[in-house]
């Protein structure tokens, strides 16, 4: 079976799809399928360490030209494909499929329209409230394109109950499935629970919706020389966050590490005590799954799929959305003063993902969905 995969971000980019797509592509390849990937990239000369056939399109290209080129490439490589598996570039894939008329499986991990407007400070609405407004022709048009591209898919897969509801509310989709994001479970003998929770970690794209500035400000409020926060990631907020750290004079407490190779993140997880996720919205973040895999305690907003993953606080610590600096500071302090409880929650979370987020099991579910389309 020939499968074309489209995605907006792919290694060396960071982010959930850049973690998921190489793994599922390799799994499908090992099942005997032929795989072609089309993605956006900042650098077209990147070596493909994943041993996959990848066609990259320059992200910085003029938007209209990029759209045309993307649609053209999807048509070109889609002609010999049996199924198009859309993990990004959804509108472009839907336009191309007017000509291809192929079976489309689409994974939904959020709302690109909301994310685009929110990260450009063009809306202050949260994910759910944004769905209720059509305050400008720009929002209306982008939502219409989004809805059309989603409802034109034959099968939709989401990783969370929240996103399942989002898709079902659009209507006209017969087959909406929930398949958990998966991770390759590791067995490790982590040292006994730390007496002190000192090493904090954030692993995220540096964009507005992630609220990393609030986490940095919270470290400033706590004013504890023992606390060390490391921030992995790159994005449009990097310079502003760097200036914030300098202005608060907490350079000894907070380090912006920039982009870290996916294969190197483990060394930061191994020494971390607490992983912090303060985003306004997350589908079901791979970064939290990775932290849980290393038995790192979790402090997160209740946004999107995080509330279900952490079981309303039974498998991690939750603070309400939207977050604010003082609430984050109080929450960090609470976790620090309850290290025994935090350790127990971390072990519960690890046992849960071992049962419900094991990558081989979840990958096989994806394989069955895709192969059923060919049989039908």
Instruction: Write the pLDDT tens digit of every residue in 251-298.
Output: 999 999 998 887 789 999 999 999 999 998 888 889 999 999 999 999
Task: State the average pLDDT for the chain.
Answer: 91
State whether residue 255 is helix, strand or coil. Answer: strand
Q: Say which residues have a Cβ less than 8 Å from residue 246's Cβ, sequence separation at least 6.
A: none
Per-residue model confidence as pLDDT tens digits over 57-76: 999 889 899 999 999 999 99
Angle of helix 137-151 versus helix 112-119 axis, rounded to 10:
150
When mean pLDDT is compared across 29-33, 48-52, 207-211, the lowest value belongs to: 48-52
Q: Which domains does the chain have, with CATH numbers?
A: 2-182+358-375 (3.40.50.2000), 199-356 (3.40.50.2000)
Q: Which of 228, 344, 324 is nearest to 278 (CA)?
A: 324
Tens digits of residue pLDDT in 359-374: 999 999 999 999 888 7
Q: In this predicted structure, what is the pLDDT of residue 372?
A: 87
Contacts of 108-111 with CB under 8 Å at 24 or more apart are 108/150, 108/156, 108/157, 108/158, 108/163, 108/166, 108/167, 108/283, 109/16, 109/17, 109/158, 109/159, 109/163, 109/283, 109/284, 110/163, 110/281, 110/283, 110/304, 111/146, 111/166
Q: Hey, is 158 helix, strand or coil?
A: strand
Residue pair 113/95 in contact by the 8 Å Cβ criterion: no
């Amino acid at each position: 079976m020939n499968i074309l995969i489209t995605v907006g971000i792919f290694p060396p980019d960071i982010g959930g799809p850049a973690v998921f797509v190489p793994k599922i592509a390799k799994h499908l390849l090992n099942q005997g399928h032929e795989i072609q990937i089309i993605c956006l990239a900042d650098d077209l000369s990147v070596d493909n360490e994943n041993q996959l056939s990848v066609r990259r399109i320059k992200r910085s290209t003029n938007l209209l030209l990029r759209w045309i080129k993307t649609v053209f490439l999807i048509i070109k490589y889609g002609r010999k494909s049996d199924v198009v598996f859309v993990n990004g570039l959804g509108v472009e894939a839907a336009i191309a499929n007017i000509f291809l008329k192929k079976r489309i499986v689409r994974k939904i991990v959020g709302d690109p329209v909301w994310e685009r407007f929110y990260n450009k400070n063009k809306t202050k609405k949260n994910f759910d409230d944004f769905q209720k407004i059509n305050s400008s022709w720009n929002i209306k048009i982008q939502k219409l394109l989004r809805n059309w591209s989603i409802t034109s898919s034959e099968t939709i897969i989401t990783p969370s109950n929240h996103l399942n509801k989002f898709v079902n509310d659009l209507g006209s989709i017969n087959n909406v499935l929930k398949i958990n994001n998966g991770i390759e479970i590791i067995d490790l003998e982590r040292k006994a629970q730390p007496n002190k929770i000192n090493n904090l970690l954030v692993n995220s794209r540096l964009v507005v919706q992630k609220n990393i500035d609030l986490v940095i400000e919270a470290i400033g409020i706590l004013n504890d020389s023992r606390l060390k926060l490391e921030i992995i990631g790159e994005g449009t907020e990097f310079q502003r966050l760097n200036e914030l750290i300098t202005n608060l004079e907490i350079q000894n407490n907070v380090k912006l590490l920039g982009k870290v190779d996916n294969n190197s993140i483990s060394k930061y997880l191994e020494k971390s005590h607490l992983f912090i996720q303060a985003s306004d919205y997350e589908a079901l973040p791979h970064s939290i799954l990775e932290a849980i895999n290393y038995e790192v305690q979790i402090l997160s907003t209740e946004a999107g799929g995080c509330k279900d993953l952490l079981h309303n606080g039974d498998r991690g610590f939750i603070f309400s959305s939207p977050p604010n600096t003082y609430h984050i500071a109080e929450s960090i302090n609470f976790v620090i003063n309850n290290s025994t409880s935090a350790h127990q929650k971390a072990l519960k979370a690890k046992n849960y993902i071992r049962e419900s987020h094991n990558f081989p099991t979840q990958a096989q579910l994806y394989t069955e969905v895709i192969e059923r389309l060919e049989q039908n």
